[in-house]
Amino acid sequence: MPIPAFAQSQGNDKDPREMIEGAVEMMIQALELMLNTIPQYEPPEVLENGDIIIRRKPRKQEQPPPEKDTTVDRDKT
């Protein structure tokens, strides 16, 4: 009677703990992105006439990455 062979791993030799940590890290990054897309608001302000104003906080402007210094420092050669 032939005995069925067990399936061999397909090069997936990662530790399960590492895989879980990677998945959790990806979920945290996704959650951070989601929270950053939700508009943020200032505390409510009640005017003298009873109107309530809730202002949006200004979005943080992403600063472009600094440009690499392309000048050659000839003293270091």
Given a contact cutoff of 8 angstroms between Cβ atoms, the answer to whether 34 and 42 are in contact is no
Separation between Cα atoms, residue 41 and residue 35, nearest integer Å? 13
pTM: 0.43
- pLDDT-derived band at 46 (thresholds 50, 70, 90) equals very high
Higher-confidence residue of 16 and 9: namely 16
> Which H or E run contains 52?
strand 52-53
Averaged pLDDT for residues 13-33: 92
Is the pLDDT reported for residue 14 higher than 70? yes
Tally of residues, the chain: 77
Average per-residue pLDDT in the chain? 80
**Which sequence spans correspond to the domains of the chain?**
17-59
Closest CA to 43 of 28, 62, 56, 59: 56
Token reading at 59: 């979005």
